Amino acid sequence: MGKIIADITDSRFNRKLTNLYKLSVHIGADSLVYCIIDSLKRPILLRHWQFDPNDQEHLSATLATATARDPFIRANYGQVQVALDTKRIIVVPRVLFQKGKESELLYALTSPQADEEVHAHPVDPLGIQVIYALPKKIRPLLREYFPLAQVQHLGHAFLLALYQQRIQVDETFALAELQHQQLRIALVQEGQLQFFNTFKVQHAKDVLYFTILAYKMVDLDPLEVPLWICGHVLSDSNVVKQLARYVHHIEWVAMPDFLDNQELFAHIPTHFYYTLFHLHLLGK
C-alpha cells in the first residue's frame, strides 16, 4: 500500500499560499518523491513514498495511494512539474537538431516501441536538445491527478543539474546518478558536454564498468578527473568502494546554491534528491 520513508516539513508551510508554491514530483520504479519550494526559493517540504516494485499496476496504484493519503500533494500549486525516468533519452547538439525530426533522431539510436510519443526540449546553457520517449498513456493518467502539471523526463532535470554543477565546481568533471537500477552519467570537458548516457545496472561491477567506459569514450583519466555522485547510493556502499579503486576523486553533490533554507535538510542525504531539487527549473 505504500509507506513514507522520509518526511521533512517546515513550520512555515501555509496551505493558504500554495498557489505561490512550486511542486516537483518524481515518480520512480518503486517510489513517489516530491518537494515543495516557496516563493522565496526555500524548499519547505519533502516527502518520499516507497511502494512495492512488483505491483503490476505500479503507476496508477502509486498515484491513487499517494493522492488519497497525502493532503499536501493534493493542494493547488502555482507550478507543477512531474518527472518520470526511462532509458529512452538522448541529447543532440543544438546545431544538429531539426524540429519535426525528433523521432528520427531518437530512433537512430534506440528501437521504436508501440504506443509511445516523442518529445524534445532545449537545454540552452549546454547548447543541446534533449529528446525522449514516454508511453502515450502516461500524460492522460498523470493529468487525472495533476491537471496543470508539465510532464518531464527526469534526465532533463539531470542535465540542468549538470549545468549548475559546472558553474559551482570545475570545468572538467563527471556527474553520475544512480536510481532504480539505472546509472545516468555525463562528462563535461572544459565546460562542454562530451558524453551523456543511461545504463541498466544490477550490480556494483556494472556501475564500475559503465563509469570507466564513459571516461574512456571521451579520453579522460579517472585518476585525474573528479566524479560527482548523486542519487540513491550510500557512501559506504559496495558501489562506491568499487569505484574508489579506479576513480581517485569521488565527491558528493551538495544542495543547489540557489535554494535557501538548507538547514532544514541537514540530517538527510540530500544527494538522494539532487535532481528533484532542480526539477522546478524546467518551469521557467
Q: Give the model's confidence band at 222: pLDDT under 50 very low, under 70 low, under 90 confident, else very high.
A: very high
Residues 194 and 118 in one domain: no
Question: At which of 97, 114, 144 does a domain end?
Answer: 144
Residues 187 and 118 in one domain: no
The whole-number pLDDT of residue 284 equals: 58
Domain membership of residue 54 (yes or no) is: no
Domain membership of residue 10 (yes or no) is: no
Q: Which domain holds residue 93?
A: 89-144
| Mean pLDDT in residue range 1-25 | 93
Q: Whole-model pTM?
A: 0.91
Residues 170 and 240 in one domain: yes
Residues 140 and 175 in one domain: no
d(CA 85, CA 231): 13
Domain membership of residue 68 (yes or no) is: no
The whole-number pLDDT of residue 54 equals: 64
Q: Distance of CA 251 to CAs 162, 165, 212, 263, 266, Å?
A: 14, 12, 16, 20, 18
The whole-number pLDDT of residue 113 equals: 85
Residues 128 and 96 in one domain: yes
Q: For residue 111, is pLDDT > 80?
A: yes
The whole-number pLDDT of residue 90 equals: 95
What CATH number corresponds to the domain at position 96? 3.30.420.250
How many separate domains does the chain show?
2
- Tell me what the pLDDT averaged over the chain comes to: 91
Residues 99 and 171 in one domain: no
pLDDT tens across 157-170, in order?
999 999 988 777 66
The share of the chain scoring above pLDDT 90, in percent, equals: 70
The whole-number pLDDT of residue 57 equals: 64
What CATH number corresponds to the domain at position 213? 3.30.420.260
Helices (H), 28-84: 58-69
Quote the cell numbers at residue 111. 528501437
Residues 130 and 172 in one domain: no
Residues 140 and 177 in one domain: no
The whole-number pLDDT of residue 62 equals: 84
Sign of CA dihedral 239, 268, 283, 61: positive
| Mean pLDDT in residue range 28-57 | 86
